[in-house]
Amino acid sequence: MSGPDVFDPAARIADNLRARIASQGPLPVSVFMMEALFDPMAGYYATRDPIGAGADFITAPEISQMFGELLGLWCAQCWQDMGAPERLHLIELGPGKGTMMADMARAAHAVPGFTEALKLTLIEASAALKMVQGRTLGKSGLSVGWANGLEKAPDGPAIILGNEFLDCLPVRQAVRQDGQWRERVVGLHPEDDTRLAFHTGPVLANDDPFIPDALKDSPEGTLIELRPGDAQIVDALAARFAGHRGHALFIDYGPARSEPGDTLQAIRAHEKVDPLDAPGTADLTARVDFETLARRALAAGLAVHGPLEQGAFLKSLGIERRAASLSAARPDQRAIIARQLHRLCDESEMGALFKVIAISAPGLPAPPGLHPFEG
Ligand code: SAH
């Protein structure tokens, strides 16, 4: 039975949004996304562990241990190419259940001296997931700490990783109307004020710094997405890599070249649902714009390699050999391992939609498996 003293996260988010709209008017899509995902008491990430077969969505490290293992070896190679510094910070943005980091750490043991150099730092917005990460990594024997944002992570040479992290950074949207860009906003539904609806809001400055260069002159009616969160990450990387060697590797879904279109997507129990329906109860993401990210990083003086399709990247790191040796050790698992390989690498699954990009301090050897970004 529900009553006034029963805490209902979905109702709290909906009430918060309606109150904000009543006082400030319709909200940018990014504010809507922020509230729905990260409200500290009721937000989607605050209230649950959404990742896994029985939850809302599944990610590459949860599909197969091979993913984290290959990334662990990728890191070890980068560390050697950086001159094998005595201390290396391995920093993960949005570590989810901590599975990728645990698989990376296990694979890293194969490389002499690497594990001894590592210090792990996790950056995680969700208190619920921090607990899961602590449990997963408690068994690794490595030193693990958490930081409140990349700016606050400890100084020194570093490798930074983010798998399906950039896609949950809040996006803004804009629509081309009468030769100008207008912010797309979330307000109340005109016929039913218990529901939310999209509206067209204020005109943006022509030189709004987040409008992707490649889309600036799009035709009338075009919808574009602006990713201020990516820009913040690039700024944090530029600040960090001005003083210390390092690489950042991001793996996420999106096209290699900037494309217009509304890609805000809500997923609940592995199904797409209406993003405005019951906010806080579904995962919200938007496609990553790799071209704009790469150009921004280059403009900040950083080196960029990729984007490359996930399938090609994992194959170049030897995933097929790893699958064969795992299958040889566990013949009873052969079919399962083959299916995992297919999900990670095949074009019809994650292999082509997902891309890998490295953003690095200038002057280092190219990271394994990737070629310089071709502007
Ligand atoms: N990398 C994991 C989880 C991906 S889901 C995997 O591949 O399985 C996205 C993760 O990023 C979650 O852990 C979520 O809580 C976290 N996250 C999203 N936005 C964040 C932010 N701004 N700061 C820190 N963590 C964030």
Pocket of ligand 1 (CB under 6 A): 45, 51, 59, 61-62, 94-96, 100, 123-126, 129, 163-165, 168
By most ligand atoms within 8 Å of CB, the mutation choice from 124, 232, 354 for ligand 1 is: 124
**CA–CA separation, 162 and 252 (whole Å):** 8
pLDDT in tens, the chain (375 residues): 445 567 788 888 999 999 999 999 999 999 999 999 988 888 998 778 888 878 888 999 999 999 999 999 999 999 999 999 999 999 999 999 999 999 999 999 999 999 999 999 999 999 889 999 999 999 888 889 999 999 999 999 999 999 999 999 999 999 999 999 999 999 999 999 889 999 999 999 988 999 999 999 999 999 999 999 999 999 999 999 999 999 999 999 999 999 999 999 999 989 999 999 999 999 999 999 999 999 999 999 999 999 999 999 999 999 999 999 999 999 999 999 999 999 999 999 999 999 999 999 999 999 999 999 988
**CA–CA separation, 103 and 326 (whole Å):** 14
- Phi/psi of residue 118, nearest 5 degrees: -80, 140
Integer angstrom CA distances of residue 187 from 11, 262, 273: 16, 17, 19
By most ligand atoms within 8 Å of CB, the mutation choice from 62, 63, 168, 169 for ligand 1 is: 168
DSSP state of 152: G
Alpha carbons within 13 A on the beta-carbon side of 18: 13
The domains found in the chain, sorted by start residue, are 9-47+172-225 (no CATH), 50-170+227-254+289-360 (3.40.50.150)
**CA–CA separation, 348 and 66 (whole Å):** 19
Atom of ligand 1 nearest to the CA of 94: 11
Whose Cα sits closest to atom 16 in ligand 1? 94
Q: Are 124 and 130 in contact (CB under 8 A)?
A: yes
Whose Cα sits closest to atom 13 in ligand 1? 96
